[in-house]
Structure formats: structure tokens, C-alpha cells
Structure 1
């Protein structure tokens, strides 16, 4: 059975980010999640939306992904979330990640978006990355 390129990329990204002592310290622990924890204390990083498209060539099967990562913080202003987001971008942009069942061709930072939730409690910075992979 072929593994999902989305799952393979997420696992590799999580491993790569948690190997960075500065990111782990800024988060206050290994706080990277697939969904918001019920009683988790921000700041933390969430895997947000993902899009995947066929990126196959005649000789190989591949995928193009748009992966969203979000940094959430409860600090006033966006400073904490923006600083954490920049650390993530610096760590991931063009990173040579090893994926299970896939070869990473390219991983690039695309854009960043900031927002506050309606209650004003959470600051959210969402980063988009574009990845291209080939199946092994």
C-alpha cells in the first residue's frame, strides 16, 4: 500500500521542527498538533489545511502540495506568533527533508497571513508552503 504524500510530509515537517531547540523552547515544549488541543496552552503550531494535486511526469508519479501551518498565541499583539512563524519559515524553506515512501523534490515558503479570532483571545499566523514530491 502506498503511503499518502500529505502524511509523509507532515511527519517529516514535525520531526524537523522538533529537532530545533529554539523552536521547542519558544513553544514551551513539543507542541505541534494535527488539531487544537482542548486544554493546551499556547503558543503552539497546528497543521492546518492541505491541498494536493497530481504532479506526475511520464516516468514518475508525483504530487504537489500546498501545506498550511498555523502558529497560535494568546499574547497581546502578534509579536510572539510572528516571531515563531519566522523561525518555522527559516527552518523549513528549502529544507532537505526525508519522507517515508516519497522523495521530496522541493519545499518552499509561499506566503503568510495574520488574524485574530473574533473573541480577540488568539493571534493566528498561517504560513503556506509548496512541496513537490515523487513516489518511491
Structure 2
């Protein structure tokens, strides 16, 4: 059985590559755990995660802080905002089913969109908070 963090990441990945709005914003299912070969823009990567024990009483809960990264170049700042919006539409309060676990909730927490040091690339850092419990 997958751990809750691994199962949740897999469910998020599946939801993102299947989301028509995000796929349209990216020009394809350009979502991965690493940047695509040759780093064709735009794309989204699943990034860092922080998992904490949120158990209460007899309930075994885990809180997940998940970071997604969106990278844009040709469409610049506007494209980064459109992709961020598509990520929010795809995931905020989404009814995901991580294998072997129950998703209690998945909520948007923070988005930070900025131009990188090269002056051409925009990086959107999008964070979500999730709570899971075993099935």
C-alpha cells in the first residue's frame, strides 16, 4: 500500500493531467515530477511537500502542505496567472481518491508569481493544504 503522501501526489498528478482547463492553458498535459526534457514552456511540476501528524483523539490524520510550480516564458506574467487559476480550478476542494487513504480536504493556501532572474521566465509557486486519513 502506498503511503498517504505518495498516494496523494499520484492522485494530484492524475487530476492535473486529466483537467481540460489546465491542459488547455499549458497546450498539452505538460505536468510532471521533473521539468520536461528540453524544458519547453509552459509546464507544471509537482514540488516540495511537508507532512505533519495532525491526529486528534483516536483519529489518525496527516496534514500535507504541497507545492506546485508553474513555469511560463512566452506568455509571461499573464500566462503564469492563467495557469495558476487553472491549478486552483483543478484542485481546490477536489474530490480526489488517494489509493488506500481518504482525503478529508484539499484547499488552496498560497500563490506567489514572480519573474525569475533571467528576466524572461515567470515562476508561479502554488501551495495547497490537504488532510488525509487511512481508509
Question: TM-score, normalized by length of structure 1?
Answer: 0.91
RMSD: 1.5
* Mapped pair 1:127 → 2:129: no
Closer/same/farther in 2, CA of residues 76 and 120 from structure 1, 3 Å limit: farther
How many equivalent pairs are there?
135
Aligned pairs for 1:1-136 (under 5 A) are 2-75=1-74, 77-136=76-135
For the residue of structure 1 that corresponds to 2:76, the secondary structure is coil
Q: CA deviation at 1:111?
A: 0.9
Q: CA deviation at 1:76?
A: 5.3
Q: Do the aligned residues in 2 keep the contact of 1:102 with 1:135 (CA within 8 Å)?
A: yes
Question: TM-score, normalized by length of structure 2?
Answer: 0.91
Which has the higher mean CA deviation after the structures are superposed, 82-91 or 69-78? 69-78
Q: Do the aligned residues in 1 keep the contact of 2:42 with 2:71 (CA within 8 Å)?
A: yes
For the residue of structure 2 that corresponds to 1:78, the secondary structure is helix
Dislocated runs of 4+, deviation >4 Å? none
Distance in 1, Cα, partners of 2:90 & 2:36 = 24
Unmatched tracts of structure 2, length 5 or more:
none
Distance in 1, Cα, partners of 2:27 & 2:4 = 29
Distance in 2, Cα, partners of 1:135 & 1:84 = 32
Distance in 2, Cα, partners of 1:45 & 1:82 = 13
